[in-house]
């Protein structure tokens, strides 16, 4: 028996409320899969390479010239 057949058999034995939830979940997963297929390509790695340097100690304060850009 295939998974599809098993699922149909199980669905025939559960209350209608659960069937509605299963249907909603199925539509949700189909939509999510479709959205994942249409996502843009990932951004290139190191897009900001050379734009700034990270201090040796990551917890050190940022340089003033970078901080002023956030004001």
How confident is the model over 3-41, as pLDDT tens digits?
999 999 999 999 999 999 999 999 999 998 888 776 666
Give which of 11, 34, 13, 35 is closest to 23, Cα–Cα: 11
Exposed / middle / buried, residue 68 (Cβ in 10 Å: 0-12, 13-18, 19+): exposed
Residue 43 has pLDDT above 80, yes or no: no
Q: pTM for the full model?
A: 0.48
**pLDDT for the residue 40:** 66
More confident residue, 53 or 5: 5
Contacts of 12 (CB under 8 A, 6+ apart): none
Q: How confident is the model at residue 42 (pLDDT cuts 50, 70, 90)?
A: confident
């Amino acid at each position: 028996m295939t998974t599809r057949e098993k699922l149909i058999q199980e669905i025939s034995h559960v209350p209608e409320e659960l069937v509605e939830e299963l249907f909603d979940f199925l539509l949700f997963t189909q939509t999510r899969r479709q959205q994942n297929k249409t996502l843009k390509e990932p951004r290139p790695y190191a897009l900001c390479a050379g734009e700034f340097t990270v201090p040796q100690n990551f917890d050190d304060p940022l340089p003033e010239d970078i901080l002023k850009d956030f004001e």
